[in-house]
Structure 1
Amino acid sequence: MVNHLAESDKNKPRSFQNRNKVFLFFVNKTERHLHIIWLNFIGDPVIYKTLGPNNALPIITYEQHPWVFEDSQTGDRMLGNGQELFYPKQDKKKPDQPIVILLTYPLISLRQRALQVIRDSIEEIEGLEVSQTPFTLLNDIVEVLALKETALESYKNCQKVANN
């Protein structure tokens, strides 16, 4: 397989050819529906499955195939065994035994969490009561709403890639 990547994409996380199979068992330890996302050979995200709260998913993948995990509604990144970007590694001593990957919330600041709550309660920028909102908070909210829109676009792009 020949990869024709732009110079800017060469450092982008992506899958590489590998024959070492890895058995994984993703366990969603959050109260959110999470997209289990594989990064393909050019680094595009492909939604493999959406996993409900406290559910598990067994899969067979390969070493050097990265995975990321996102809240299906907000696009917020979650962690797989404490990592935002998870690269599977076969356990050489137990190659046929699945490796359990716990999907959890990242540790974020109280400020970040407050902005997430505000973001989730406001549908769009027009819904803000500008005259009653401090300017610095207003800037943060606009930034978070823009990220929400970016996450929605990313999800739509993932769907297009998955359907092709």
Structure 2
Amino acid sequence: MDEFEYEVDDKGNMQIAKSLDSEEPSHIRFVNCSYCSISIYWIDYNGKTQLYKKLEPLQFFDLNTYTTHPWIFKERITQDRLVVNNKTVFRGPKVQYFWVPTTNSNHIRREVIRIRMPMRSLTRLVMVEIVKALPDENCLAALGLPGTLQNELKSLMILKNQDKS
């Protein structure tokens, strides 16, 4: 089964997020304002996510895209979604120009887009830190945790190991 990303349209209806046309440019700078490593995905014309870039905390990169192209952001270990402007699916704004009198010309203003972590429960935060600290899942049994927590931690460790490959 294919997994699609969904977003709310202008009328409040849920729809599959996908790239539309490539007519209206958007010049942006993605800034990772979270404390974790993230993956940035472009959603293509068929609604499929395509890994585009990985960013470490406080790193940024500049991108020329289009206003109808959606982007999503995930924490690399947990695959938790991150947010931009309180939304999990981002579409860039129209290009803005500003006048530079010394060169007597217009210049493009690159929009700064801050990627942030959504609120997490204390349990989730602790689990992520445990996964970061453990070298492999064989160490879980030594912690003496209940089976349910061990299984959740194993799932996170699998995601962490997949990200390394």
Q: TM-score range by the shorter chain?
A: 0.5 to 0.7
Match of 1:145 in 2: 154
Secondary structure at the counterpart of residue 143 of structure 1: helix
Q: Which has the larger radius of gyration?
A: 2
Cα 1:131–1:56 shift into 2, 3 Å: closer
2:53 to 49, 55, 67: 49
Greater helix content? 1
Match status 1:38 vs 2:47:
no
1:16 to 13, 20, 25: 20
Aligned-pair CA distance for 1:29: 1.9
Cα 1:115–1:31 shift into 2, 3 Å: closer
Aligned-partner Cα distance in 2 for 1:8–1:71 = 18
**Which structure 2 segments of 5+ residues have no match?**
7-14, 98-107
**How high is the TM-score relative to the length of structure 1?**
0.68
Query: % of aligned pairs identical?
Result: 22
Aligned-pair CA distance for 1:147: 4.8
Does structure 2 retain, via aligned residues, the 8 Å contact 1:74–1:151?
Answer: yes
2:110 to 94, 98, 112: 98
Aligned-partner Cα distance in 1 for 2:20–2:164 = 23
**Count of matched residue positions in the alignment of Structure 1 and Structure 2:** 146
Cα 1:78–1:47 shift into 2, 3 Å: same
**How high is the TM-score relative to the length of structure 2?**
0.68
Greater strand content? 2
Note the aligned Cα RMSD (angstroms).
3.2
Does structure 1 retain, via aligned residues, the 8 Å contact 2:33–2:57?
Answer: yes
State which drifts further: 114-123 or 99-108. 114-123
**Which structure 1 segments of 5+ residues have no match?**
1-5, 157-164
